[in-house]
Amino acid sequence: MTPTVVRRSFIAFHLVLGIGLLVLSVETLLHALALANLGTHKHIAAIAGIEGVGALLFLLPRTLRPGAVLLLITVGGAFLMHGIRGEWRADLAIYTAGVWFVLAHGDGWSQPPSASNVAP
Please report the sign of the dihedral spanned by the C-alpha atoms of residue 91, residue 97, residue 98, residue 103.
positive
- Which pTM does this prediction carry? 0.85
Torsion on CA atoms 49, 53, 59, 65, rounded to nearest 10: -120
Q: What would the pLDDT profile of 52-111 be if each residue is shown by its tens digit? A: 999 999 999 999 999 999 999 999 999 999 999 999 999 999 999 999 999 999 888 886
Whole-number pLDDT of residue 116: 47
Q: With residue 100 as reference, give the H or E element that holds it.
A: helix 90-105
Q: Where does residue 76 fall: left (phi above 0), alpha (psi -120 to 50 degrees), or beta otherwise? A: alpha
Q: How far apart are CA 24 and CA 105, in angstroms?
A: 24
Q: What would the pLDDT profile of 61-76 be if each residue is shown by its tens digit? A: 999 999 999 999 999 9
pLDDT at 5 over 70: yes
**What confidence tier does 37 reach under pLDDT thresholds 50, 70, 90?**
low
Whole-number pLDDT of residue 42: 82
